[in-house]
Chains A and B, each alone.
Chain A
Amino acid sequence: MLHYIGKRLLHLIPVLLGMTFIVFLIIRAIPGDPAQVILGQQATAETIAALRQKLGLDNPWYIQYFDYLKGVFTGDLGESLRTRQPILSEVWPYLAATFELAFFAIFIAVILGVNAGIISAWFQNSWFDYVAMVIALIGVSMPIFWLGLMEQWVFSINLGWLPTSGRENVRDPITAITHFYLLDTLLQGRFDQFIVVLKHLLLPGIALATIPTAIIARMTRASMLEVMRSDFIRTARAKGQKMFIVVYKHALKNALIPVLTVVGLQTGMLLGGAILTETIFSWPGIGRYIYEAIGFRDYPVIQSGILIVAFLFVMINLLVDILYTVIDSRIKYN
């Protein structure tokens, strides 16, 4: 097993290298000059040239690329062109914000999606099955932008239950320790703030969870239907096991492998792809960090941000592969 993990981690190196190379080329191929963006509409050609030189942007691209790689291998992700801060010191709060939101969303998605899928399969072709799958279809095709604004309109403006945006009540700000606000408030014994943070998580969490919930529900249903038809389930039922035990213990365990794959992929997607949700709910996460960097042609931030997200994506999928062996002892990696 350790051997397998080691091998997978080694495979990671060419994957990430290839990715940095592609990202590097793409962002330099698009027009738009960081020096121009930093200095604004007013800048003169000479000032722009001076800044380009200072930022090392007038070097040939391969020199820029190797400089960048050298930095990455020595643990230096470079400096943001815009804020002139080291990316490594700047990125954590954004990353933590996205982690908190993405894991909250995937938690909702797994609880709702898996259960909806199970029940749909259990009562196959019942009205619940039809309704749940229609809702899942709507969920997959719902534009997040629209959904987010509607959530605000209903739950914040009309019902007044939840805040519209942000991570905290800015009038009573949270002292960040780990930058996971749920954890930070608990560490400080501020249960009132814990509730506030939870309320801030709800609307963006639901918006972000919509698509994964729908996908997980459909996957669970399909996978469960297959397992439920197998012999060992028939045997279990014939032995007079309670349906609940049959479904949640025997069948689910066997149906979970493809579901887990989907959960892993979706979690990875949420880390990088939460830009729309982060924009609507002004969530200061990594998606918006990278998105704004693109607008500013902040090359180091775009490169390193995507590198970090890609790394996490691969790691989550490795974790999923390892989890397979835990769930199904027949799976072995050698």
Chain B
Amino acid sequence: MKGKKYILAFILLLTMTVFLAACNTSDSGSTSTDSNSDSGTPSTDSNTTDNSTTSTPQVLVFGRGADSVSLDPAIVTDGESFKVTQNLFETLLNFGEQNTTIHPGLAKEWQVSDDGLTYTFQLQEGVKFHDGTDFNAEAVVKNINRWKGGTEEDFYYFNSMFKAEGADVIADVKADGDYTVVFTLSRPQAPFLKNLAMSPFGIASPTAFEAAGDKFGDNPVGTGPFKFTEWKRNDSITIEKNADYWQQGLPKLDKVIFRSIPDNSARLNALTAGDIDLADGINPSDGKTVEGNADLQLIERPSMNIGYLGLTNTRPPFDNKLVRQAVNYAIDKQAIVDAFFEGRAQVAANPMPSSISGYNEAIEPYPYDPEKAKSLLAEAGYDGKEIELWAMPVPRPYMPDGAKVAEVIQKNLEDVGIKSKIVTFEWATYLEKAKNGDADAFMLGWTGDNGDADNFIYTLLDKDNIGSNNYAYYSNDEVHDLLIKAQSETDENVRNDLYKKAQEIIHEDAPWVPLAHSTPLLAAKAGVKGFLPHPTGSDKLDNVSIE
């Protein structure tokens, strides 16, 4: 019996030691937002149990927040789906490596008629789909007709980008020989080429989508640098090198595995432990931790977003322009950027970031001026009624911590005499209620699809989009006329002037408080080379390699 007691004591002691050790070290780990808690961390490659492979194999494990919905790019709307399809499919035109300028893709050259109604594309020759089908003009025509013939809810992006007032912008598309495709438009569309370069318009193998029907999203076939291998839902998607890829020497990786790890901290843990090679969605507060770890590198995605505080323009007190302007003066935007974006963001002046053509540089953000705000409120006859301030329940690239930012805004408003109550809802509810105009003031944001001014200003603030993306219910006929004119204006300079003018009016009307253009963060193992994150959020991985 005595012997048994000693064994017992020993086991207990052992357990306690491990437990206490865990408690001890954990404190610094859980709270370290800016301190480097990883000194002495063993090297990433050798210490993980089942990843004993060295870094030579060209296999990249990409950790991200959620799984894809489908791998048919034409039918999905979520960014996580496009992250994968971007590497399986190719579009007729490509965006620049880290911007949204237009470059050749599956189309090597193109001509536009003077009236802006006919686009003629010369296609790459000798390209094959993963299933061996030839890529040619016929295949392009079949793809366009598939999108055109589908219902609006199935082919959402095609309808939103290539339809105006219920009519197809692409009136007709024809093959002229094997490698020439001619598009005829029903009206000039300024962002036409940029739209074609978007991920949803990846060209799919007609043989495959005709055979698979609804199941095409489970067996995607494109011409891209990688081929689809396997999908374990909610877990991982594996794609492998397309050995017959038409671009010499690409891709450099043999395999890419997209893993979904929902929690941001757990994803960073997985990266630090070497279970994954690249992690999307790094909290701004973890940026310094990553920078302080020699085994990791911090990667910044070029900014193409806007985080804003929307003021529902039809609800009192924000139906009064002076009150809206007062709120713009009252909020200390720089302090918000410094505190919650760790300085990795730009204070916003306009509803779109400066990288987008047509940005009005002459407009300055409303300065932080509580006194001015107070006098405007007095002038407006604001009655001091408490407002509801809606805080985002989920982190988004344009808003890392909605709840905390809301607290600062609440304090700023209180300083000028506007009382507010912070409320929040679960995300789907939040969007629905805000869209219905139920909010007084709400936080929201937007990441651009195609890098065009129209995709920000018209989409977010035109009266056509009230009940859709114009959550602020802002309506100004002068702005509307400018934006509609800009949609079919093909002269880039004239078009930019139209947008600049629109931004001036919007600045004066102050339907929102534009807060920030953030720089979303990623992190990778030090050995990952050639990864260039794209502002649209869909990254091409053909040039990535692992050293």
A residues adjacent to B (C-beta < 8 A): 30-33, 35-47, 50-51, 54, 82-84, 90, 93-94, 119, 128, 131-132, 135, 146, 148-154, 156-158, 160-167, 169-173, 176, 196, 199, 243, 279-282, 284, 288-289, 292, 295-297
Residue of B nearest to A197 (CB): B50
Q: Is there contact, CB below 8 Å, between B266 and A281?
A: yes
Residues of A within 8 A of B236 (CB): 166, 170, 173
Residues of A within 8 A of B211 (CB): none
Q: Is there contact, CB below 8 Å, between B69 and A82?
A: yes
A-B CB contact pairs (8 Å), 7 listed: A43-B77, A43-B156, A128-B9, A162-B49, A165-B270, A199-B49, A282-B261
Q: Is there contact, CB below 8 Å, between A280 and B12?
A: no
B residues adjacent to A (C-beta < 8 A): 1, 8-9, 12, 16, 19, 21-22, 25-26, 29-30, 38, 41-42, 46-51, 53, 57, 59, 61, 66, 69-70, 77-78, 151-153, 156, 159-160, 214, 217, 230, 232-236, 238, 257, 259-263, 265-266, 269-270, 272-273, 275, 425-429, 431-433, 435, 446, 449, 459, 465, 467-469
Q: Is there contact, CB below 8 Å, between B235 and A42?
A: no
Q: Is there contact, CB below 8 Å, between B160 and A44?
A: yes
Q: Is there contact, CB below 8 Å, between B428 and A32?
A: yes
Given contacts A32-B428, A150-B30, contact A39 B262 (CB under 8 A): no
Given contacts A45-B467, A170-B61, A171-B59, contact A279 B262 (CB under 8 A): yes
Given contacts A128-B12, A171-B257, A289-B234, contact A164 B153 (CB under 8 A): no
Residues of A within 8 A of B61 (CB): 170-171
Q: Is there contact, CB below 8 Å, between A150 and B26?
A: yes
Residue of B nearest to A285 (CB): B234
Distance (Å) between the CB of B404 and the closest chain A CB?
A: 19
Cross-interface CB contact of A163 among B49, B159, B431, cutoff 8 Å: B49
Cross-interface CB contact of B446 among A36, A41, A176, A289, cutoff 8 Å: A41
**Extra inter-chain contacts (11) besides given A119-B8, A148-B266, A161-B49, CB under 8 Å:** A33-B432, A40-B156, A42-B468, A83-B70, A150-B22, A154-B25, A156-B273, A162-B49, A173-B230, A279-B262, A289-B234
Kindly state the separation between the CA atoms of A47 and B529 in the bound complex, as whole angstroms. Answer: 42
Cross-interface CB contact of B269 among A30, A40, A149, cutoff 8 Å: A149
Q: Is there contact, CB below 8 Å, between A32 and B233?
A: no
Residues of A within 8 A of B8 (CB): 119, 128
Closest 7 CB pairs of A and B: A160-B47, A32-B428, A40-B77, A51-B153, A284-B234, A284-B235, A169-B50
- Chain A CB count within 10 A is highest, among B49, B57, B233, for B49
Q: Is there contact, CB below 8 Å, between B233 and A93?
A: yes
Distance (Å) between the CB of B406 and the closest chain A CB?
A: 19
Q: Is there contact, CB below 8 Å, between A32 and B238?
A: no
Residues of A within 8 A of B1 (CB): 243
Cross-interface CB contact of B153 among A41, A50, A279, cutoff 8 Å: A50
Cross-interface CB contact of B238 among A44, A173, A284, A289, cutoff 8 Å: A173
Residue of A nearest to B447 (CB): A41
Residues of B within 8 A of A163 (CB): 48-51, 273, 275
Residues of B within 8 A of A292 (CB): 66, 234
Residue of A nearest to B66 (CB): A292
Distance (Å) between the CB of B276 and the closest chain A CB?
A: 8
Cross-interface CB contact of B152 among A30, A47, A94, A149, cutoff 8 Å: A47
Given contacts A32-B429, A156-B269, A162-B49, contact A282 B262 (CB under 8 A): yes
Given contacts A42-B468, A50-B153, A128-B8, contact A288 B234 (CB under 8 A): yes
Q: Is there contact, CB below 8 Å, between B431 and A36?
A: yes
Residues of B within 8 A of A296 (CB): 428
Residues of B within 8 A of A90 (CB): 233
Residues of B within 8 A of A43 (CB): 77, 156, 160, 468
Residue of B nearest to A90 (CB): B233
Q: Is there contact, CB below 8 Å, between B232 and A93?
A: yes
Residue of B nearest to A94 (CB): B234
Q: Is there contact, CB below 8 Å, between A288 and B50?
A: no
Residue of A nearest to B236 (CB): A170
Distance (Å) between the CB of B543 and the closest chain A CB?
A: 21
Given contacts A41-B446, A199-B49, A284-B232, contact A160 B261 (CB under 8 A): no
Q: Is there contact, CB below 8 Å, between A295 and B446?
A: no
Residue of B nearest to A84 (CB): B214
Given contacts A152-B266, A289-B234, contact A32 B432 (CB under 8 A): yes
Residue of A nearest to B445 (CB): A41
Q: Is there contact, CB below 8 Å, between B426 and A32?
A: yes
Q: Is there contact, CB below 8 Å, between A39 and B156?
A: yes
Q: Is there contact, CB below 8 Å, between A42 and B50?
A: no
Residue of A nearest to B29 (CB): A153
Distance (Å) between the CB of B22 and the closest chain A CB?
A: 5
Q: Is there contact, CB below 8 Å, between B269 and A153?
A: yes
Residue of A nearest to B229 (CB): A173
Q: Is there contact, CB below 8 Å, between A47 and B428?
A: no
Residue of B nearest to A155 (CB): B22
Residues of B within 8 A of A167 (CB): 235
Given contacts A46-B152, A171-B51, contact A154 B21 (CB under 8 A): yes
Q: Is there contact, CB below 8 Å, between B152 and A282?
A: no
Kindly state the separation between the CA atoms of A161 and B47 in the bound complex, as whole angstroms. Answer: 7
Residues of A within 8 A of B459 (CB): 42
Residues of A within 8 A of B70 (CB): 83-84
Residues of A within 8 A of B57 (CB): 171
